[in-house]
Amino acid sequence: MVAILVSHGRNGYGAFSAQGIQQTAAIGPDELENTNGDSLFVVKDFSDSPTNPYDDIVLALTPNDLLTPLIQGGVLKDSHAVLNDDFEASKTAIISYAISNRSAPASPPPAYIYPLPASWTPPNDPWITPIQYVPLTTQISTSSPPGDAFSLRSAGPDGVLNTSDDIVVTISIDEALALIARLS
């Protein structure tokens, strides 16, 4: 539990006033348990029993109760969503490099040649390990044969590369050319 919220109900037994003064002490053992300052609380249905009246409303909040709305609302992202954003930003940076360093061939057909960086310093993944960039070709163009342009690898939660929890994204030449067209 992250937090326990207690409303001492209509009878107010054990509640505190705005001035910080505790109201009449609870009569029954169940409401008394909810006022004694320890970490135990009673949650049960209303009771008008003369020996153990109970009108408290107790709400226990778990970490999921607090985090789920923030994640669903996009305020917080889980580690995989953050990694996907890092991969997208990395792909854009690598392709932007290729666009800014492009060259036209000396003879027709007039197709640009886009060099890929030989090395690049990508960001850290959500587990504070650098994302690994691996160029799989040195340049791409519209006349490049089908294949892969580069890959990005996260070491995953264990922080060790080449283990079963690694997360790898491989960008094909076709995907890179489509990104070039979109960014140009």
**Taking a C-beta distance cutoff of 8 angstroms, is the pair 155, 129 a contact?**
yes
Amino acid of residue 180: I
Sheet holding 132-135, edge to edge: 132-135, 148-154, 167-172
Q: What is the pLDDT of residues 85-110, one digit of tens each?
A: 999 999 999 999 999 999 877 666 66
Output the pLDDT for position 148: 96
Question: What pTM value is reported for the model?
Answer: 0.62
Bigger pLDDT: 129 vs 184: 129
> Rounded CA gap, 121 and 15, in Å?
58
Q: Which residue has the higher pLDDT, 74 or 123?
A: 123
Residue 111: what pLDDT?
74
28-70: pLDDT as tens digits: 999 999 998 899 999 999 999 999 999 999 999 999 998 888 8
Other C-beta atoms closer than 10 Å to the C-beta of 58 total 14
Residues with Cβ < 8 Å from 132, sequence gap 6 or more?
122, 152, 153, 154, 155, 161
* Interaxial angle between packed helices 173-183 and 79-100, expressed in degrees from 0 to 180 and rounded to the nearest 10: 70
132, two tokens: 């690994």
